[in-house]
Structure 1
Amino acid sequence: MSPIPAPGLARLNTAADSDVVAELHEVCASSAWGRRVLAGRPYADAEAICGASDAAMAELTADDLAEAMAGHPPIGRPKPGDPTSAREQRGMAGASEELRAEMLELNLDYQEKFGHVFLICATGRTGEQMRDAVRERIGHSPEQEREIVRAELGKINRIRLARLVSPPEEETRMSTGTSAAATPHTSVSTHILDTSIGRPAQGVAVSLSARAGSGAAWAALGKSATDADGRCKDLPALPEGTTHVRLDFGTEDYFLGQGQVRAQRPGPAGAAVDPQADAQQDAPANRDSGAFFPEVAITFAVDPGEHYHVPLLLNPFGYSVYRGS
């Protein structure tokens, strides 16, 4: 049995082309992107239209990307009267005058170098996080920055499409002014302990995604990596309306790196390493050419205004998670 599209998606599937083109233009200003997404109707669910958006974004030319970026105001200066840009840039709403001035200067420096506005998926990010991002990215080459912009546009489009195809009652709840002003931020942090060596796991890539409702599409919010203490403390705040969170841990590179470290480990001073004993100790690493768990995905439910610290206890052949404090 084919899934029944949610009411908001059903409307998008059946509306006149001209109406849908106008709605899609509010999501992304690229006409090429809009044509490709329009041509993919009907969509079975939110993930299907978000997947079509990703595919269309991957095919955009440099001129198409410039057209898409032209629809986005600079960070710290949302379009007057535009609730979408104001909502997405909420992290700058309470920024100090000093931070606002610094962002303005950085935006101008970035625009002078690359010829377009600094673009980032600002949903859930603080003003400080956006400032740090532009500081880092201003050192990139134009080619590097073009692909980062493409990825950031894809994230923004997913979030906007999720709102566009939400059922009417969900869309109303997400768009009310009282909710936007009064709902406190929900946040997530994590840390990883490698229980096979009794130490923090450093350098593990961590990706954060969120969705608003069980049937909604996942929206990628940000990426980070664990520090020397195994902690990941700079994940962005969650967007308003988030009900579920997913943390994706890229464990394969970490385990492969650990295998190399073990292979290079010296024995005690003046003592030879027993190859048989060492092989037994490193059996999990030696039994497979790659990691048994190349990635770990954790999904959990959240409530507004709460902080969720979700540690991962990891070893080559098992893992566990819990809600910490």
Structure 2
Amino acid sequence: MNKTAKIYIAGHTGMVGSAILRQLQADGFKNIVVRNSKELNLIHQEAVRDFFEVEKPDYVFLAAAKVGGIQANNTFRAEFLYDNLMMASNVIHASYEYNVTKLLFLGSSCIYPKFANQPIEESSMLTGALEPTNEPYAIAKIAGVKLCENYRRQYGCDFISVMPTNLYGPNDNFDLKTSHVLPALLRKFHEAKEADSPTVEVWGTGTPKREFLHVDDLASACCFLMEQYSDGAPINVGTGTDLSIKELAEIIKEIVGFKGSIVWNSNKPDGTPRKLLDVSKIHDLGWRHQIELVSGIESVYKTRFIPT
């Protein structure tokens, strides 16, 4: 990418989009176009077309999405399917219509089957049933991947799809009703410590295993892939290592300094039993993560919960 190229980041106020914005600015890119959801509703096709007609970006990072944890995904199933389908369809189609040089679509590791072989290779997509609690979101993301693949096949568009593992970092969502597991645990343990509570309740059994990537590492990977990757097949981005939710809870408990005990509510869903990505493809290209989990969580906790 030329430093003067016009770059549009869809979803720049979210955790992923804001990290990509920081990375691009740090790399010296000046001509970056952004709109918040009030200025541009990506669900409305005409509004998206009008934006592309005026701005005509050279590169697009499609990080906009309606996201949430198990409870949010399972409660707002129609919105998670419709909103994400429309955002992906509108931005990808407009990128084709207005001759965008390259587009990067942010998918999710939830596109893979619930019981996929571990670690999960990119070729596992559509080989088995999805996790029921987030099936609508996953279907929308699979549709985005297939849009990129088929606009490439039919029209020669240089559209790529990136599948990140579970993310955390600055600008994460800490709302206990809609957040993912890591920020939810940080808030729960912090509030329990502040209230001097004897216990913290955590959903599930603690046995599922998850992989976690700092969002700044994902932003680094996205900028790297925009330069180095051009293929219709999706590419995984992660650390290549995972841990159980029980181990994660113990790490967060220690970082926060909570002295009580953890109570596991096994009546609540565990979700997918394991979700470790095979990252050999991106490793072979020359990219690896830099931020280790403990130091990454410590940084997020200090920034979000410790007054300066």
Q: Normalising TM by the smaller chain, what interval? A: under 0.3
Higher normalized contact order (CA 8 Å, seq sep 6+, divided by chain length): 2
- Which TM-score applies when normalising by structure 2? 0.27
Structure ID, larger Rg: 1
- Which TM-score applies when normalising by structure 1? 0.26
